[in-house]
Amino acid sequence: MLIHTSGTVLLFVIGAAVNVASAESSDSSMGSFVHYESFPSNLVEPRPVDVWLPPGYAGSDERYPVIYMHDGQMVFDKPTSPFTSFWRRAMGWYYGGIFWDVDKTMSRLIREEKIRPAIVVSIWNSPGVKRRNEYMPKKPVTEEVSQLIRAEGSYITRDEITSDNYLKYLVKELKPFIDETYRTKTERENTFIMGSSMGGMISAYAISEYPDVFGGAGCLSTHWPLGGGAVIDWYENNWPQSGKNRVYFDYGTESLDADYEPYQLKMDALMRRKGFVEGDDWMTRRFEGEGHSPRAWRERLHIPLTFLLGKS
């Protein structure tokens, strides 16, 4: 059911109202943008969701692949994001920018015919500890692992981890709405998930838990060290065999990323044991001198996007 009212659209989804900001010009060379101020859920806290539609979407009847991205406040540099405030921008300037600018990279790669046009859905995080509890894979965290995590000084606690509900929200509530509202290609091979740091953790977990829903994942600077790499150990018996999924990993060598290499090498060995072939359905890249920042992820975003959506 749709109700139009003074420049906004109210949609009733899952028994609750969703406020939708007016879309930008859909014939723009940078695509168009729709902001859902509070997307409802029976599984997680309601939150904003942004949808970016590729250039030419409004003028065609084509259907498009979809990429679901975490930490949505940082995906697009739009006025709806809290990071566009003066003080946030000042902080962002010091770190080389807070935003991934996904729309700019997507538009460029589409224009250069390096990737298939795709819809991007960015899901805002729940700040602080709630974010970590949503993004930390739940099933690998035994009581022993939980004690290790606490000993490391993390605020993540086993009983409060909500990642299973978060993934169920994506698969059972958000994806059906996106597929019904927009012209999407709904199949596994056209559905992707991507994030950085803990967002990389939950993206890999999505492949493990829903290999028939997500055909590919982009996991940038994946925060493997939690619990001594316990998540990787769990994947030994819970990672899908090759043949259905494409997976991208990367890491830098500075700041938080400086601790990631031995864990990523362990995950790479697991990928080989599961039959994945590097450069074919799996890729891991090491970025010398790069740290743990949106600037670093923004500057190499074209690599996972091309790997997942490339035309060749």
- Edge-to-edge strand list for the sheet holding 282-287: 2-5, 8-13, 16-20, 32-39, 47-53, 119-123, 66-69, 191-196, 216-220, 246-252, 282-287
What value does the mean pLDDT take over residues 12-32?
Answer: 57
Residue 22 scores a pLDDT above 50: no
What predicted TM-score, i.e. pTM, was given to this entire model? 0.90
What value does the mean pLDDT take over residues 118-143?
Answer: 93
3-class DSSP assignment, residue 142: coil
d(CA 37, CA 19): 6
User: Which pLDDT value is given to residue 157?
Assistant: 80
Report the amino acid identity of residue 8: T
User: In the chain, which ranges are continuous DSSP H helix?
Assistant: 86-94, 102-111, 129-135, 143-151, 163-168, 175-181, 198-209, 230-235, 261-273, 294-300, 302-309
Of 20-24, 90-94, 104-108, highest mean pLDDT: 104-108
User: In 33-101, which ranges are continuous DSSP H helix?
Assistant: 86-94
Indicate the number of domains in the chain: 1
Residue 35 C-beta-side C-alpha neighbours within 13 Å: 17
Residue 80 scores a pLDDT above 60: yes
pLDDT in tens, 2-19: 333 333 344 545 444 455
Backbone φ and ψ for 298, nearest 5 degrees, come out as -60, -40
| Domain housing 80 | 2-309
Residue 32 scores a pLDDT above 90: yes
Using alpha carbons only, give the angle 211, 215, 218 rounded to the nearest 5 degrees: 105
pLDDT in tens, 199-237: 999 999 999 999 999 999 999 999 999 999 999 999 999
Residue 162 sits in a domain whose CATH number is 3.40.50.1820
Q: How confident is the model at residue 91 (pLDDT cuts 50, 70, 90)?
A: low
CA-closest candidate to residue 246, choices 289, 208, 276: 276
* Helical axes 102-111 vs 302-309, angle rounded to 10°: 50
pLDDT in tens, 236-252: 999 999 999 999 999 99
